[in-house]
């Protein structure tokens, strides 16, 4: 039976690299907002002999996520792996200048959408599937208040689910990627020497090696 991997945030950066890295063993369900970027990931997957289903969707749209999970159930009946890399990285600013719009969008993408996806994806993963989240501990870092607080809330959700599902499944894993030369990091750290950073594909390979049962 074909193994399936849902990757939310698969159009760029680590998500794209994970999709490509897993494509030799799993059918990839790639979710992202940018159709063109997803098509580039699909081309790379096909070049490796893999297959993908592209889902150009916004994870904050509840109806779209319900439709996605229903489609996965109708086609495969189950899901082996979910990797959640989708994130909104608000502009850096002092805590006293956090804007309502940036905070609202950060909470919507990083927390509310994650909570809904846990609710919808958990039944697909069942007892034997695995969900993977990616920590980026920026709590207390100057000017990272909006991003850091919403990312910390996302990981808090994942950690609660991890403890709650220890005996019943699915398995919940939280990994911490090394810094990578992504577009998001370039916004946060302009002028940084990117030669010392790990490439997304190398980092994807390192992280996937930490997952059991693939």
Q: What CATH number has the domain bearing residue 132?
A: 3.40.50.720
pLDDT band at residue 185, thresholds of 50, 70 and 90? confident
pLDDT at 174: 98
Q: Is residue 213 scored above 80 in pLDDT?
A: no
Q: Please indicate, yes or no, if residue 29 is contained in any of the structural domains.
A: yes
Structure tokens at 167: 């005996």
Average pLDDT for 184-213: 90
Average pLDDT for 58-71: 98
Q: Please indicate, yes or no, if residue 175 is contained in any of the structural domains.
A: yes
pLDDT band at residue 162, thresholds of 50, 70 and 90? very high
Question: Within 13 A of 104's CA, how many CA atoms are on the CB side?
Answer: 3
Q: Please indicate, yes or no, if residue 185 is contained in any of the structural domains.
A: yes
Contact of 52 with 42, CB cutoff 8 Å: yes
pLDDT at 68: 98
Handedness of CA 163, 164, 167, 171 (dihedral sign): negative
Beta bridge partners of 82: 6, 131
What mean pLDDT is reported for the chain?
Answer: 95
Q: Please indicate, yes or no, if residue 214 is contained in any of the structural domains.
A: no
> What is the distance between the alpha carbons of residues 198 and 26, in angstroms, rounded to a whole number?
24
Assign 3-class secondary structure to 12-56: CHHHHHHHHHHCCCCEEEEEECCHHHHHHHHHHHHHCCCCEEEEE
Around Cβ 82, how many Cβ atoms within 10 Å?
25
Average pLDDT for 42-49: 98
Burial of 33 (0-12, 13-18, 19+ CB in 10 A): middle
pLDDT at 188: 85
Q: Please indicate, yes or no, if residue 213 is contained in any of the structural domains.
A: no
Q: State the DSSP code for 88.
A: -
Burial of 184 (0-12, 13-18, 19+ CB in 10 A): middle
pLDDT band at residue 192, thresholds of 50, 70 and 90? confident
pLDDT band at residue 86, thresholds of 50, 70 and 90? very high
Greater confidence (70 vs 190) lies with 70
Overall domain count for the chain:
1
Give residue 154's domain range: 4-208
pLDDT band at residue 196, thresholds of 50, 70 and 90? confident
pLDDT at 12: 94
């Amino acid at each position: 039976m074909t193994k399936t991997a849902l990757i939310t945030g698969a159009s760029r950066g680590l998500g794209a690299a994970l999709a490509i890295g897993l494509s030799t063993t799993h059918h990839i369900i790639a979710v992202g907002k940018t159709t063109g970027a997803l098509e580039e990931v699909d081309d790379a997957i096909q070049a490796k002999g893999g297959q993908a289903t592209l889902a150009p969707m916004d994870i904050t749209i509840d109806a779209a996520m319900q439709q996605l999970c229903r489609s996965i159930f109708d086609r495969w009946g189950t899901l082996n792996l979910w990797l959640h890399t989708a994130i909104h990285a608000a502009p850096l600013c002092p805590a006293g200048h956090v804007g309502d719009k940036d905070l609202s969008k950060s909470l919507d993408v990083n927390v509310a959408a994650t909570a809904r996806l846990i609710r919808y994806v958990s039944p697909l993963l069942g007892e034997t599937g695995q969900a993977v989240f990616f920590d980026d501990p920026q709590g207390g870092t100057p000017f990272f208040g909006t991003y850091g607080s919403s990312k910390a809330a996302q990981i808090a959700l994942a950690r609660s689910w991890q403890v709650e599902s220890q005996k019943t499944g699915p398995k919940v894993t939280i990994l911490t990627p090394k810094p990578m030369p992504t577009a998001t990091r370039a916004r946060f750290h302009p002028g940084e020497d990117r030669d010392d950073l790990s490439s997304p594909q190398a980092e994807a390979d390192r992280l996937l090696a930490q997952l059991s049962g693939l």
